[in-house]
Every structure is written in C-alpha cells, then in structure tokens.
Amino acid sequence: MYSAADQKQLDLLSRNLLLAPDPSNPKDGLVMAHQLGDVIRFHEYRYYVLHDPVISDFEFDQLYKKLVALESAFPTCRLDDSPTSRVSSDLTDELPEVHHLTPMLSLDNSYNEEDLVDFDKQIRKLLVWDDEPIAYAVEPKYDGGTITLVYEDDRLVRAATRGDGVKGEEITANARTIRSIPLRAHFSALGIYRAELRGEAIIRKDAFARINARREEEDLPLFANPRNAATGGLRMKDPREAAERGLDVFVYQLGFAENEKGEDVLSQFATHQQSLDALAAMGFKVPDEERTVCPDIQGVVSFCTEWADRRDQYAYEIDGMVVKVNRRDLQERCGYTSHHPRWAIAFKFKARQATSRLIEVDYQVGKIGSITPVAKIEPVQLAGVTVSSISLHNEDFITSKDIRLGDIVLVERAGDVIPYIVKPLADLRDGSERPIRFPTHCPVCATPLLREPDEAAWRCVNAECEAQIKQRMIFHVSKDAMDIDGLGRSQVERFYDLGMVKHIADLYKLDFDRIATLDGFGQKSADNLKKAIEKAKANPIHRLLHSLSIHHLGKKHRGCSQEKSTTCLICKIG
C-alpha cells in the first residue's frame, strides 16, 4: 500500500509537523491540514491494519490534536476526508462484520493536572453547574484490545472488536474461550433482555512473559507487547489458538440495555459505579480495587498520580486512567462529539516509547577495558526525562537487531529501567543508512581490541590505558566498592587531570593541604575527605577485592545479559 520511499517521506513529514508552529492563516492551515491528514492516515494504517506502528502513541496523539486544533481555528481547513471526521478502524476483510448496538467512540486525552482541571471546567460549563463539585468515577485505562459483548435472554450471543466504531469484527467463538466472560448472566433479574457491554481483552504481564518464552523456544517471532498479543489473540481463526493466549476481559462500561419491549432500561442505574457493581454481581470481571469515585477533580488528580506510580507493580499493562462523570443523567446532558463522549477523558501516563534518529555511536572504555557502544540519538522525551544517549551493550546486540547509523529507532524506558532500543524501524529506511563498524582498536589508547571466545565484549587489554585507569579509580571510590564519601567521578577526574593521582594507590597518598586550596574545597572539606579515606581503610577484605576491578573477580553481576556473571573467587560473595 505504501512504498518504502513513501513511508520514509511520511515519517519525515510527521517529525517536521510535530515541531511545526501553528499556522497563522487559513491558507497555510490548509496545506498543513492536508499534510496532517496524510500522515495520520498512514500511522492509522500501520497501527490498526499492520499492528506495527512506526511512531509512539504519544506522538500520534500530538499529531491528531494538532489537526483538531487547526480545524477548530480555521473551519475552512476541515477536509471532507479528514481523519477527525471518523473513528479510526481496525477492520480487515478476514472476519464477518457486525453492527454495534450503539456507536463505540474513542476518548479524548489529557496528560497532566492542568488538562484535568480544564476538563472539569468544561463539564461545569456544559452543565451550567457552579455549586457543588462534580463526582467522577476513575478506573485504569487497560492497554489491550477493545471487545464488545451482547447478551440476549441472559446468554452471550455475540462478541465483536471495535472496528470502525459503527461496525466491528465478529469474534464470538474466540470470546467463548475466555474464562472471565460469563456465557450466561442473570440480566433478566434486572429486567434487561438485551445488553451491550464494553471491555478490554488483556493478558497479564506474567502470562505474556510465558507466552514469549515459549515462542522463543519454538523459534516463532516474539510479540512486542501484551497489547499486540491480546489484539491478535481476539482475532485468531482457530478458537483453540485464541484460548492459548490466556486472555482476560475487564468490562468497563454498560453501553446499552433494553427490556423485551425494546424500552431503554439503562436509567435504573443512577451512576456508572452502580452499573459496574451490578455487572460484578453477575460474575463479570470489572475493575475492583482499581476503581474509585472521587468527590471532585482534585481527588481525580491524586488518584491518577497514585496510579502513575503504581503502574509497574500492577499485573496488567495500563497506559493511563479513564475519568468519567459518575452520574448517568449528567453524562447524558454533557453529550457526545462524533469522536468521543464529552463526559469522559483519558488521563495518559507519560509516554514510555518514542522514536528517534540514531546519529552516531560512541565507544566507551570500561574499568576492565570492555568497549561499550553508546548510541547518540536526537533528544526525545521518555517517561518525563530527555534521553539522548543509550547503551547498545555490545557488538552482538547491534548485529542481532541489525541497527544501522541513520536508522529511526524505537526507544523504550519502562519505570525506572534504563532506556533501551527496542528495534530499528526497517520500513523507514531509504538506503542512506550505514552499517555500524565496530572499532578494531581502543578509541583512547589505540591498542588492538581482543574478544575472548566466550565473552560478549571486545576489550582493550592495555591495563595502563588512561580511560581504564580513570574508570577503575572512579569505581574504586564508589558506593558499591570502597564507598568513600566526598570522592566521586568529578573529584577523581579533577585530581587526575591535575596530576595528583595516577593510580588507585595514589588515592591514599593525597596532598590534603593542596586540596584545601582548590576551588570548591577548603580546609573543612579537605579534612572530611581525609577522614572518609581513613574510614575506608577499615573496609572488609571482600570490598577491597571487589574495588580493584580484577577481571572475573568481584560481586556477582545479576540479571544482566551483557556481562558474564562473576563471583568473588575467595569469599564467594555473590
């Protein structure tokens, strides 16, 4: 559908548009609306049809928002085929289509406290409401695949994907294999003959890890994340295969309920919370301790912030929280746009994935001479911090992922974990990318590099290499080794550059009178440093051995794939 050259161009255009200032007149606006339409359609195709996005969700949202803002500033820029005029689609022609009983809309997004406060203001304006605070139901935004379930006469009669919001793909046989979906539910007790429920099919993080481990053993391609495994699982041709994915379904909305006469009986639930409680009582899996009702928007902000911190400990992937006006009568008064309900908003957590260009690779020399390639990328925001360099670990990492200079790479930073490169986006290559040539000589002392047959790293074997000496001293004084207070990387480098230390032993012969005269020091800090060094001399022997950076000797290197585990040969400390 898109040639490689088209894809490259659309990607470049996306990046330029993300940075472009808002147009000041309708003429420039129209050009930009065309461009935004083109890139959004392309990214929707990559996401919904190929399930292989080349842009992060956050970047996509930014592009979409830009188009919405542009169309509202200059209505003449609203094109007939604008992506904002329809809900995006995941329809293919592989499964039969079914009509939803009510349209399935998307959610508008918010990213911070200010956005949430604005949302509350907007609701109050819509409702002409300025007395007491508005109560909101808040629950996780599950990061899986949307599913809708229709029950008639207490039986599950149909399940479907979201599709384009009006029609979805029929997946009833697969849904029947999902244990958290009751095949029968006692709707009739509530006078409900036909009901439509919305929920999210999702895989537990631990089950996902097991699925990928098994796929690795069977030499099958790995899933990038639980969402891909879940959305793929919903649409398997063979229900037995769907069953193997171990899907769960969280129901988050009762969208439609009528009695045998076809009358709407949804209004028996005064609040969203009550409708979820009723579904829970019937045996559905609904958000439980994960959901709450906040009496006002400040409560919503606290709950969302609390969950942003808890997200990594939670058993399922969530990418934000969903905030809904709790009272159903107020929801109806707020109404809907063609894209989303006005009474709900998603609070998106800080993006963990981003794409960026790999500009060059630096090579760092470690304390035992291991050479670590470090990718320099165009700076990107990841989970709230700017990232511009990322370890590429070793030569095998680069080769196995086929990472090339000039590539657009997908970068991820989950929780407190250090950022890493998930993969290069090979579809965006235009032929100008170059292979990464690992150096043959030490970038600091020019000694030829050596790689032992059973090791991943190339090493500079010159123990007198200036870079190694500095790194060994820095490690020696660190918390993990001799733990010398007041001595860190910057002090060691400074003393080295002033010629005051050449080797680790020199750290114990420092001239404290001279240190007292150095800028930023003084008598007091020189005295403190002296005391800290004296104290370190009393460290136990295993600390000293570990601090000397002797190859194959030291604390065990746990949970790290790049270096071999080493255990202290003498005291066996691991």
Q: Which of 253, 271, 275, 394 binds ligand IVH (CB under 6 A)?
A: 253
* Binding flag, residue 68, ligand IVH (CB under 6 A): no
By annotation, the residues acting in catalysis are 141
Residue from 8, 43, 46, 141 in contact with ligand IVH (CB under 6 A) = 141
Binding-site member from 60, 142, 269, 303 for ligand IVH (CB under 6 A)? 142
With binding defined as CB under 6 A, does residue 139 bind ligand IVH? yes
Is 107 among the residues that bind ligand IVH (CB under 6 A)? yes
**# binding residues, ligand IVH (CB under 6 A):** 13
Phi, psi angle pair for 445, to nearest 5°: -110, 0
Buried b (16+ CB within 10 A) or exposed e, 131-159: eeebbbbbbbbbbbbbbbbbbeebebebb
CA dist., res. 80 & res. 76, Å (int): 11
Closest distance of CB 146 from ligand IVH, Å: 3
Give the C-alpha separation, 127 to 132, whole Å: 12
Rounded distance between C-alpha atoms, residue 406 and residue 435, angstroms: 9
Report the residue number, 223 or 252, with the smaller CB distance to ligand IVH.
252
- Does 225 bind ligand IVH (CB under 6 A)? Our answer is no
| Under rule CB under 6 A, residue 322 binds ligand IVH | yes
Question: Is residue 105 part of the contact set for ligand IVH (CB under 6 A)?
Answer: yes
List the one residue from 35, 110, 146, 549 that touches ligand IVH (CB under 6 A).
Answer: 146
Residue closer to ligand IVH, measured from CB, 146 or 275: 146
Question: Least distance (Å) from ligand IVH to the CB of residue 352?
Answer: 17
Q: Considering the complex, state which of residue 270 and residue 571 has its C-beta at the smaller distance from ligand IVH.
A: 270
Q: Which is nearer to ligand IVH, 276 or 365 (CB)?
A: 276
* The one among 230, 242, 325, 344 contacting ligand IVH by CB under 6 A: 344
284 binds ligand IVH per the rule CB under 6 A: no
Q: Within its chain, how far is the Cα of 203 from the centroid?
A: 16
200 binds ligand IVH (CB under 6 A): yes
341 near ligand IVH, judged by CB under 6 A:
yes
| Cβ(313)–Cβ(414) below 8 Å | no
∠ Cα 232 235 241 (to 5°):
80
Distance (Å, whole) CA 391 – CA 374 = 4
Closest CB to ligand IVH among 165 and 424?
A: 165
* Cα separation, 39 vs 446, whole angstroms: 47
For the chain, helix, strand, coil in percent to 5 are 35, 20, 40
| Residue whose pair of structure tokens reads 């049809």 in the numeric block | 49
Label each residue of 296-338 as H, E or C.
CHHHHHHHHHHHHHHHHHCCCCEEEEEEEECEHHHHHHHCECC
Nearer to ligand IVH, 187 or 250 (CB): 250
Return residues touching ligand IVH (CB under 6 A).
105-107, 139, 141-142, 146, 200, 252-253, 322, 341, 344
